Structure 1
Amino acid sequence: MTSTPDSWSKAIKSLHWLIAFFILFAWGSVELHEFYERSDPMRGWWMVVHYSLGFSILFLGLFRLYWRATHGRPTLYGGSFQKPVSLLVQSLMYIIILGMPITGLLMRQFAGRDITLFWIIDVPSVVAKNTDIAKQFAFLHKEFLWNALLVLLVLHIGGALWHHFITKDNTLRQMLPFGRK
């Protein structure tokens, strides 16, 4: 299951798409919770989904970093400008994939609020309540990292489409879970 010069390993492809869908679902769950009044149990239900997906993204992101470090990568296409930009975008995406769940957890911790994961694991607040610090982590989580992720996703998807349709190399096909290589 090691990556080859022509394609990522099946494990990396699976992790890539699973994390992508979990990010999409985490965003959807936090948006859906806004449709309910604060007293409605469904609002809390959607937030448990959000926290559980965030924890899953953190776990899968760490595992993906480990797998990538130990199982190689395919050939990196592009010119002398594109390769470092591609590596920078990928690196920043890893930072955000790990940073968003961590800042979300710290935001809740410093707000003095517990977190329930998968309706079975309660993570109690273990730090002293400090709403000023909680607000800083909320800004990082909700504004800075989220908007940075959106910019990086546009660059990431745009780069993949550029490689596929303009330079016509194998970049996009390396990560697709289906089709020919």
Structure 2
Amino acid sequence: MQQNTAPDISALDSQHDRLTIILHWATALLVVVQFLLAEFWGFFPRPTRHLMIVSHMSFGLILAAVLVLRLFWRMRPGRTHFDDGDGYMSRIAKMMHHLLYVLLAAEIPLGFFTRWTDNQALSFFGLTIPSPFGAFSKATGYYTDQVHDFVAWGIIILAGLHAAAALFHHYVLKDGVLRRMLPERG
């Protein structure tokens, strides 16, 4: 007897809890803001560029806090987990989510080390956080910055694919997956 592995459509119409939705969209917004700040600060004069760099560091620290809270919230007992079946699309979605978490978790300390290996203090809205390490060579700073940039591009590409997949689910499959992460209409 063959077992049906298709997801239950009524389960697809249910929703994540409010905090999960808030943390998801806060993460998405912070990732996009971080990426745009880093990609465009080179086009601005010194005072504006400095403000964009300080904002990038500050929002990076906020992203770190959001990510930690999100991971703790995601792993809490009693959390709603949606069963989308065990097909290849579900496995790809799970792999993409895990890879995004891994890349985000790697990018945050890379951001710290990028600043510190450039022999500069980290800044959180003007509050400086000096490096707990000694001085680094320019080569080390350059290498760390390159890895930080590479991981950032990986995150933004995967996030774009994630968004495209959500839109595909919503407009083509019409299966309610995107509605899980949208705030309730009141």
TM-score of the two chains, using structure 1 as the length reference: 0.86
Matches for 1:29-178 after TM superposition, within 5 Å: 29-37=37-45, 40-70=46-76, 71-77=78-84, 80-119=87-126, 121-130=127-136, 131-142=138-149, 144-178=150-184
Aligned Cα root-mean-square deviation (Å): 2.1
Q: CA deviation at 1:27?
A: 2.2
Runs (5+) with no aligned partner, structure 2:
1-11
Q: Shift of the alpha carbon at 1:155? A: 2.1
Equivalent pairs, count: 173
CA–CA separation in structure 2 for the residues paired with 1:148 and 1:25: 15
Q: Which amino acid aligns with 1:161?
A: L
SS at match of 1:27: helix
Cross-structure match for 2:32: 24
Distance in 1, Cα, partners of 2:20 & 2:79: 10
Q: Which has the higher contact order (CA 8 A, sep 6+)?
A: 2
Query: Rg bigger for which structure?
Result: 2
Q: Distance in 2 between matches of 1:77 and 1:161?
A: 16
Q: After the TM superposition, which segments of 4 or more aligned residues of structure 1 sit over 3 Å from their partners?
A: none
Gaps of 5+ in 1: none
Corresponding residue number in structure 2 for 1:6: 14
In structure 2, how many angstroms separate the alpha carbons of the residues matched to 1:116 and 1:45? 11
Deviation readout 1:38-91 (Å, 9 max, x if unpaired): xx2222111110000111111101110100110523423255101111111001
* TM-score, reference length from structure 2: 0.84
